[in-house]
Structure 1
């Protein structure tokens, strides 16, 4: 967080910034843990669904609670592990191209 200042910074300002940075670090760490727990919950749901441990009539409600968007037709879960990106490419930069390519391949076989 950056705030404009109208004068010289005093030692108390440095102290306030140091304390704020510690609090911000804790908040960001907690947010990351929450994201990881949510991802683990979605993964467990998909695993249980694939194993038949969730009744078909219960699945849509559980999916909505876990953040899956409702669709009009059946959904195909896809899991993959990406290799390290080639040198010079940033990680995560090709998701749009990947989504487009997967959509084209699935459309070609009528899915």
Structure 2
């Protein structure tokens, strides 16, 4: 991603250009009605909302930071991680999965 900014005393404007050949973050998921299905189809999401307590958000942030460290350490061997597998107390929560962008 390249960022170009123009500054004046009154306005800061930035244009962001994405390199379409490089991976970028996407949000995907499936509905709660599909949770127990043998097969389900992920759909791309435009937005997500986390309804959580401050404690839960801090634990999610720690999980995301650890996942980023694991991606750096493992490189191309990194596949994915589940919040519920890494942070106690999220076993019965909706699944939050981090995967490497491809």
| Higher normalized helix content (fraction of residues) | 1
TM-score interval, normalised by the smaller of the two chains? under 0.3
**Higher RCO (C-alpha 8 Å, min separation 6):** 2
Larger Rg: 1
| Higher normalized strand content (fraction of residues) | 2
TM-score by length of 1: 0.24
